[in-house]
Amino acid sequence: MRATPSSGVIVAALLLFICTSGCFAGPAKRAPARVGVARPARTGPDTSASTVVSTTTTIGAGALPQTGAFPSAGSVQFQTEMSALWSGIVTGSPGTASPAFFPERAYEQLKSIYDAQADYVHRLLRDYSLDITAAHDLIVAGRSRAVFVRVDLPAHYGHWIPPGICDNRSGYFEVANSRVVYEQNGVTRSFGIASLISWRGVWYVVHLGAILRATDTGLVENPEIGPGTSAPSSTC
Average pLDDT over residues 174-192: 97
Query: What per-residue confidence (pLDDT) applies to 79?
Result: 97
Average pLDDT over residues 68-75: 96
Query: What per-residue confidence (pLDDT) applies to 5?
Result: 42
pLDDT band of 232, cuts 50, 70, 90: confident
Per-residue pLDDT tens over the stretch 121-144: 999 999 999 999 999 999 999 999
| C-alpha to C-alpha distances, 31 to 28, 34, 37, 49, nearest whole angstrom | 10, 9, 18, 33
Residue 217 has pLDDT above 80, yes or no: yes
Residue 36 has pLDDT above 50, yes or no: no
Distance CA 76, CA 82 (A): 10
Question: What's the mean pLDDT when you consider all of the chain?
Answer: 80
Nearest Cα residue to 129 out of 100, 150, 172: 100
Per-residue pLDDT tens over the stretch 95-116: 999 999 999 999 999 999 999 9
Q: DSSP characters for 136-189? A: HHHHHHT-S-EEEEEEE--GGG-EEE-TTSTTBSS-EEEEEEEEEEEEETTEEE
Query: What per-residue confidence (pLDDT) applies to 21?
Result: 39
Question: What residue ranges do the domains of the chain occupy?
Answer: 50-225
CB atoms within 10 A of CB 30: 6
